[in-house]
Amino acid sequence: MNPFLRLLNELETPVCRRWSKAHQRPWLLHPFALISRLGNGVFWYSLMAILPIVDGIDGLKAALHMLLTSGVALVLYKSLKGYTRRVRPCHYAADIAASVPPLDRFSFPSGHTLHAVNYSTIALFYYPKLGWLLIPFTLLVAASRVVLGLHYPSDVIVASAIGLALAYSSLLLVA
C-alpha cells in the first residue's frame, strides 16, 4: 500500500471507528442506510425526471446538464479508485463493520459524495430555491458513507472538492 495512504488510514481509522458505531444503533443506522440507498441514484434520477415535467424545456436543460456531468464524474471516480486502490475502512480494520454492502472494492474517492455534490451544485444553479432540500440531503449522503463504515472522511472531502470542480467547470461551459 502507498505509504501516504497507509498514514492517512492510520490517522482516519479512529474517526471511522467512532462514526461506524451506528450499526449498534438501528434507529441511527436505518436512516443513514436509506439516505445512502437514495444517493445510489434513485433520488437524483427522480429529480432529473421531475424537472422537465415541472419546468418544461428549462427543466430538461437542467436534467440533461446533470446527466452529462454524471458520465464525467463516473469516469473520474472509477479511474481514481483504480489508481489509488485504497481499501475501505471496513476492510482495513476488523472492528469497523460495513453496515451495508459496498458497491465496489475501493474507497477513494466516494462516488456517492462526488455525484451528490455535482448534482446538487448544478441543480442549485438552475433552481436555487431547492437548497432547503438538496443541501441537507447532500450532507447526509456524505456523512452516511463514513457512518456506514464504507469511507474515510478524506474520501468524502476530496470527492466533494471534485464534485464542486466538475459542476463549476461544466457551468462555465453553459454560462
What is the domain range of residue 166? 3-174
| DSSP structure string for the chain | --HHHHHHHHHHHHHHHHHGGGGG-HHHHHHHHHHHHIIIIIHHHHHHHHHHHHHHHHHHHHHHHHHHHHHHHHHHHHHHHHHH-PBPHHHH-TT---SS--SSSB-SS-HHHHHHHHHHHHHHHH-GGGHHHHHHHHHHHHHHHHHTTS--HHHHHHHHHHHHHHHHHHHHHH-
- Residue 131 to residue 48: CA distance in whole angstroms: 16
> Residue 103 above 70 pLDDT?
yes
> Per the confidence metrics, is the pTM higher than 0.75?
yes
- Per-residue model confidence (pLDDT) at position 22: 62
> Residue 124 above 90 pLDDT?
yes
pLDDT tens digits, 25-53: 777 778 888 888 999 889 999 999 999 99
Whole-number average pLDDT of the chain: 90
- Per-residue model confidence (pLDDT) at position 23: 62
Structurally, how many domains does the chain consist of?
Answer: 1
- Residue 55 to residue 84: CA distance in whole angstroms: 41
CATH at 128: 1.10.606.20
- Per-residue model confidence (pLDDT) at position 25: 74
Q: Which of 14-28, 41-55, 82-96 has the highest mean pLDDT?
A: 41-55
- Per-residue model confidence (pLDDT) at position 92: 81
- Per-residue model confidence (pLDDT) at position 94: 78
> Residue 110 above 80 pLDDT?
yes
- Per-residue model confidence (pLDDT) at position 105: 83
Average of per-residue pLDDT across 80-104: 84
